[in-house]
Copies of this chain bind each other. A is one copy, B any other.
Amino acid sequence: MSIATVSRVINGNYPVGKKTRQRVLKAMKDLGYSPNHVARSLALQSTSTIGVVCTDLKNPYFVEMIEQIQLVTAGSSLQLLLQNTSVAENERDAVQLLLDRRVDAIIFIAHHEELDDVEHITSTAKMVPVVLIGQELPGTKVMSICAEEEQGMYTLGKQLLQLGHRNVLFLGGKEGSHPTEVKLRGLRNAFALNNDVRLEVELTGYQYTAANVLEDRIAGGLLQWCTAIVAVSDYVAIGALNVLDANGIRVPTDITVTGFDNIFWATCVRPKLTTVEPNKELLAQNAVHAIMNALDGQASIGKVLVPSELILRGSHRSIISK
């Protein structure tokens, strides 16, 4: 029989006779035939794969997001092509590679905002659907799914206030970076009504080593004024726990520490980390659905916000003496 018929039984999008179908199916088993997805992609001009770029596989937040995304795409025929761009300069190449491989869309779990221009992203968004998680590029075609980080941080800030904290150090993140700026805004808003609050900021990056700055801070008398460290992420917060521990400082007795992201390991460190859950599941669902809709030709949503939730565990304490 003809090639075309085989194609039709495989895709089932055209009528095929019962008997012919059986015959084809049998032949496929016998010959151990498996459809060539590459040729299929070329013909269809669609690879059924979506590129996923993150900046650091060492940070469990990204891995957990990837897992969530996989869960959402599991039903469909979509595959993920991962790309992690530990160094900023790689980001353009990573995107280009994804484009060369003709991914149908791209999800940025994070992109390097320190890159002076984001043309590689905005121009990509003109070719395929692009969604940013936790960041945004207003005025462009790139879609955005964000957790309510500002709200989350605001709630956390209010909580600290209520526990008596007035002197806090914000740790990690980067100036001009969306996740950092948004969190700082939330925190500052929470403190806005209390003019006795002292908020210092150490924007030492998103790496685990971001907490190393505490060594100097401790030597410089951190404990003399600061009662709470608010980290930009759990990953950094756990780094902080390690540095504090190495210096004989007890958490939360001597100092309060909070994180953000609610990664799995937040419950494995001691004390267990007080943090904010950005709702990774909803983030992933929205991101994938936004892409599926765009792929279906529907109008792209600009930006969607997903609620986040404060999670109180053991790394904070009240410093109000009764």
Contact of A58 among B37, B67, B97, B269 (CB under 8 A): B67
Contact across chains for B67 and A57 when beta carbons are under 8 A apart: yes
Is the pair B84, A82 in contact by a Cβ cutoff of 8 Å? no
CB distance from A216 to the nearest CB of B (A): 21
Residue of B nearest to A56 (CB): B67
User: Is the C-beta of A229 less than 8 angstroms from some C-beta in chain B?
Assistant: no
Check B267–A242 contact: CB distance below 8 A.
yes
- Asked, given contacts A38-B38, A79-B101, whether A241 binds B264 with beta carbons under 8 Å apart, the answer is no
User: Quick check: B34 and A100 within 8 Å, CB to CB?
Assistant: yes
Copies of chain A in the complex = 2
With most chain B CB atoms within 10 A of its CB, the pick from A41, A80, A84, A101 is A101
Task: State which residues 65-90 of A face B: CB under 8 Å.
Answer: 66-67, 70, 79-82, 84
- Measured in the bound complex, the distance between the Cα atoms of B102 and A268 in whole Å is 40
Write out the residue numbers on chain B whose beta carbons fall within 8 Å of the beta carbon of A269.
Answer: 268-270
User: Which of chain A's residues 26-46 have a Cβ closer than 8 Å to chain B?
Assistant: 34-39, 41-42
Partner of A38, one of B101, B242, B270: B101
Are A265 and B265 in touch, CB under 8 angstroms?
Answer: yes
Indicate whether A144 reaches chain B with its CB closer than 8 angstroms. Answer: no
Interface residues of A in 255-297 (CB under 8 A from B): 264-265, 267-270
Main DSSP-derived SS at the A contact region = helix
Query: Once the chains are docked, how many angstroms separate the CA of A241 from the CA of B272?
Result: 13
Query: Does any Cβ of B come within 8 Å of A63's Cβ?
Result: yes
- What's the nearest-Cβ distance from chain B to residue A90, in Å? 9
Least distance between A157 CB and chain B CB atoms (Å): 26
Q: Does A96 contact B (CB under 8 A)?
A: yes
Is A60 part of the binding interface, using a Cβ–Cβ cutoff of 8 Å? yes
Would you call A105 an interface residue if the criterion is a C-beta within 8 Å of the partner chain's C-beta atoms? no
Residues of B within 8 A of A60 (CB): 60
Question: Could you list 14 A-B pairs, sorted by A, with CB under 8 Å?
Answer: A34-B99, A36-B100, A37-B101, A42-B42, A57-B66, A57-B70, A58-B67, A58-B264, A70-B84, A79-B101, A242-B268, A265-B265, A268-B269, A269-B270
